[in-house]
A and B are shown apart, each in its own frame.
Chain A
Amino acid sequence: MLPTTILIVAFASAGLVYLAGKVHARLRNALAVLSSLVLVGLIGLGYGAWGELVYVPDFLGLELVLRLNLLAWFFAITVAAVVSLSTIFSLSYMRRKESANFHYSATLAVEGAMLGIVFAGDLLSFFIFWEIMSWSAYLLISCNRGRALEAGLKYIIMSLVGSCGMLIGLLAVYTGLGVLRIPLVAEGMQAASPGFVLLVLLTFGLGFGIKSAMVPLHTWLPDAHSEAASPFSAVLSGVLIKMGIYGFVLLMYVVVGLKLLFGVGAAWLTFRHVLCWLGAITVVIPTFIAVLQTDAKRLLAWSSIGQIGYIILGLSFGTSLAVAGAIFHALNHALCKSLLFLAVGAVEHNTGGVRDLNKLGGLAKRMPVTFACALLAGLGLIGIPLTSGFVPKWLIYRSLIEDGYPFLALASLIGTWGAILYVYKLLHNIFLGQLPEKHREVRRAPLSMRIPILLLGLGILVFGVVPGIPLRVVQAIGETFGFARLKVTLWGLASEAGALNVLNICLAIVIAFVVVFLIMRLGAKGPQVSQEDSYAAGSAVPVGRYHYTVDFFGPLSRMIAPYLKDRVDEFYSWVGARARDVFSVTRRMYTGYAGTYVLYIISFLALLIFLQSVWKVW
């Protein structure tokens, strides 16, 4: 009963919020926040329940089913939490914007669709919710008009290609196995031929790969993420692209299953290897493209692709450690990336829409909470110990190294060092260094922006210090896929070879910090001076004009930029342009004269008569 209630609440509130917006903005805001919080509450209430439930007994002769299990709850709670925080953030961000009604309502619809996806118990409901999600996200992305329209179009065309792939897969499954309920499909797959398994993997994989923005299917993401409104970018990058990841998990470990998965393919060209290498490429190249960006949101968008690479790599590597790391990293990335998008949104809001990294600077003193939390999220993306990013990355690296794939490990480690570069560039260019004169008056972010940012930051810290909380859930999910049990403790892993104990690291750092701090207090104390009072070898540094940001990693950019063109995007654009040429030629057959059309009809009839008289076709 509960999952139906959750879905009804989500979709009904999407409609109600829109109507409430016609009455009064405050009513709408209250209703939007309330319903997103109610959804979090409902999911928290039902968390952990198992079971199946038929919610539409007869849809064209098929049963539509909802299915509850730990994997679904894990993703559902992440979705609900991120969307509710984004909604709270929107209160200030969307104030006095024309599209606010639509924004709230469509965000709730996207949430409903995402919850539908994770709870779907048969492939048809999965597909229906998937389409609702794609279309409402399309409307939200192109909400801002201008360049956003183009970005939205790119997104929806790619999504449609993915959907077509999924539809083919769906039909293949139905004609081949005659069932669509996921457990029954999984049973049927065990007896299916390898070619059929590969077909299902590829068709569904196309849809999931596009949604999760895996290279070479990533080209919609940088435009869409940077053009969408910041609170929705947080949802988009935090949870929406994770639906592709959820799809991969479902496809690989529930539908196809561990036993079959590693058998697909021949010799070295197996599905697993190809996907692993695509994951590795997805880690390295987008990470370094992110280093080159000057638009804060575009930088974060490319970084999203890079981080998705880790998840794909871990999932497709398919050992108990790597899969646990991948699912944990999905949570970590949801927290970190939503926080960073919200932080950039707060900066954008406070500075009147500036997100060019070359035009900001020195905001740490003006927006301390936003800076501190953004720093935490940045460190989480890198995977520094004591943030939630450390354990998942450690699990993935360790699995890659110990199972003898050092080149994959190299790709993921280099991705981490690239992440340091772009994270520091983002933080330095926005928050550190000199404060430009025109931003002197910037004030701290409003409370409704600080609360979601703080809560996400808290999440990163708590899951970093006590990684056992999510790790237990993740390892239980892994066990349902048939992986060996991991010895999870509250502080990490206990095992004979290569244990991990975050508590030791945490205590060591805290104690060392206190000791060093006390030693520093022993030293002579000097006055605190303003930032402008700095050393410049005798000549004064002009205030507010000497923030070193433009070309921050210049020598590196000049070296690697020629190799980092997005050729995939260029290729897709080329295909698009050629298709347009062909269509514009074809269009000329519509001349507008009745005579021409009569000519077409007569010649077509003549062709038919000719065919019949020569070959006797009919």
Chain B
Amino acid sequence: MVSKILQIVLSPAIALVIGMLLLGLSRKVIARIHRRYGPPIYQPVIDVVRMMSQASISHGALFELGVVLALAGSIVTVLFIPLGGTSAAAGSHPLAHRLLCPLSSSGGLLVVIYLMLFGPVSIALGAGASENPNASIGVSRNMLLALAYEVPFLLVILAVMSHYGTVSLADIVSRQQQSGWGVLTVPLSTVAAFLILPAMLGIRPFDLAGAPQEIASGPLAEYGGRYLALLTIQNGIQLFVVIALFVNLFLGGGVNVVTFLLKVFGVFLAAELVSAVLPRVRIENALKFCWTWPTGLALAQMIITVVSK
């Protein structure tokens, strides 16, 4: 019981810290690629603290509710994702510890993909409660972008789930630790997932939903102060959740938290390097891109998986 509670506190804490670190890292890496010095890596933390102390206008209950629900949804999602460790059956590694996943037996991957919706849908509701047309445009783009990457993403996770014959994320991780990583067993899916990773993270070239120069940051246009602070945290956790899912599905999770987090940083850096050199695309192009190469690869892998079963 105590270890359960400890896990429930620990998981979101890790996600929070690493998420903020990822935000800082992203700015630093992009700055270096642009041959700038860049802000310190803890700059997002400074920003959050500063914003918490700044007063901001509000457009009413739904406007605030959207922010709270979005962050709550992201935190809850973390509880369903294994953050390193092995289940008892495969614990042979000297540095291994028990699986860090507080709610591993409450519905599995299917619940995760539903919970990942909580964030975008809540922000959409909160943004809709303001009267800013920019926010509505941003939300419309965000939903279309979600549809664009969900088609290949669903194919990818269905291929993984049918390959391992389970909907439980914890089982998928432990099976990989026993018999080889997903990147080897479902290689085309891995490539497809990596191609849509920038879209899932909402970074360039797919940062069209919150494009600051075009639509005044879209859904975030009306948010400032404490609301923006919470949404920044939410963004960080969302980044962490997506990358953690990738690591769990294809890189075998981690035998302990440290290796898991190293893999998270590795994948994030790779995604950032792609992102740093590409310009923003339009939503039409995003739809077309996501529904051609990634979908084709994921579909091919799924057919292979189904046929070879």
Nearest A-chain residue to B142, judged by Cβ: A424
Contacts between the two chains (Cβ within 8 Å), count: 233
Cross-interface CB contact of A420 among B12, B108, B121, cutoff 8 Å: B121
Residue of B nearest to A288 (CB): B147
Residue contact B302 to A520, C-beta cutoff 8 Å: no
Binds A, one of B56-64, B179-187, B255-263: B56-64
Q: Which residues of B contact A198 (CB under 8 A)?
A: none
Residues B23-57 near A (CB distance < 8 A): 51-57
Interface size of B in residues (CB-CB distance below 8 Å): 83
Q: How far is the CA of A294 from the CA of B110 in the complex (A)?
A: 31
Interface string of A500-528 (1 = CB under 8 A from B): 11001100110011011101101111111
* CB of A168 to closest CB in B, whole Å: 39
Q: Which of B57, B128, B162 contacts A406 (CB 8 A)?
A: B162
Q: Is B14 an interface residue (CB 8 A)?
A: no
Is B105 interfacial (CB-CB < 8 Å)?
A: yes
Cβ of A413 under 8 Å from chain B: yes
List the interface of chain B (C-beta within 8 A of A): 12, 51-60, 62, 64, 67-69, 71-73, 75-76, 79, 103, 105-108, 110-111, 113-115, 117-118, 121, 124-125, 128-134, 136-137, 139-140, 143-144, 146-147, 150-151, 154-155, 158-159, 161-162, 165-168, 171, 216, 221-222, 224-227, 229-230, 282-284, 287-288, 302, 305-306, 309
Once A375-B125, A524-B55 are accepted as A-B contacts, the answer to whether A504 and B103 lie under 8 Å apart by CB is yes
- 14 CB contacts below 8 A, A to B, read A375-B125, A384-B117, A385-B115, A390-B114, A394-B110, A401-B110, A413-B154, A499-B105, A499-B107, A512-B12, A516-B230, A522-B52, A531-B60, A531-B129
- Minimum CB–CB distance from B69 to chain A (whole Å) comes to 7
Complex Cα distance, B63 from A362, in Å, reads 13
Tell me, in angstroms, the Cα distance from A336 to B229 when the chains sit together.
35
* Tally of chain A residues near chain B (CB < 8 A): 78
Complex interface residues of chain A between 406 and 427 (CB less than 8 A to chain B): 406-407, 409-410, 413-414, 417-418, 420-421, 424, 427
- Cβ-defined partner of A383 (8 Å) among B64, B114, B129, B230: B114
| Complex interface: chain A residues within 8 A of B166 (CB) | 402, 497-498
Complex contact B132–A432 (CB within 8 A) = no
Q: Flag if B73 contacts A509 (CB, 8 Å).
A: yes
Known contacts A413-B154, A524-B54; is A365 also within 8 Å of B67 by CB?
no
C-alpha gap A195/B224 in the complex (Å) = 69
Told that A375-B125, A515-B75 touch, could you supply 10 new A-B pairs with CB distance under 8 A? A394-B111, A398-B110, A402-B165, A512-B12, A517-B68, A523-B51, A524-B54, A525-B55, A526-B57, A534-B221
Q: Is A428 in contact with chain B by the CB < 8 A criterion?
A: yes
Contact status of A520 and B230, CB under 8 A, knowing A398-B167, A508-B79, A555-B284: yes
Chain B residues in 8 Å Cβ range of A402: 165-167
Residues of A that sit less than 8 Å from B by CB: 362, 364-365, 375, 379, 382-385, 390, 394, 397-398, 401-402, 404, 406-407, 409-410, 413-414, 417-418, 420-421, 424, 427-428, 431-435, 492, 497-501, 504-505, 508-509, 512-513, 515-517, 519-520, 522-529, 531-537, 541, 546-549, 552-556, 558-559
The listed residue with most B CB atoms (<10 A of its CB), out of A432, A532, A556, is A432
- Measured between beta carbons, the chain A residues less than 8 angstroms from B139 are 424, 428
Docked-complex contact B147 and A417, CB < 8 angstroms:
yes
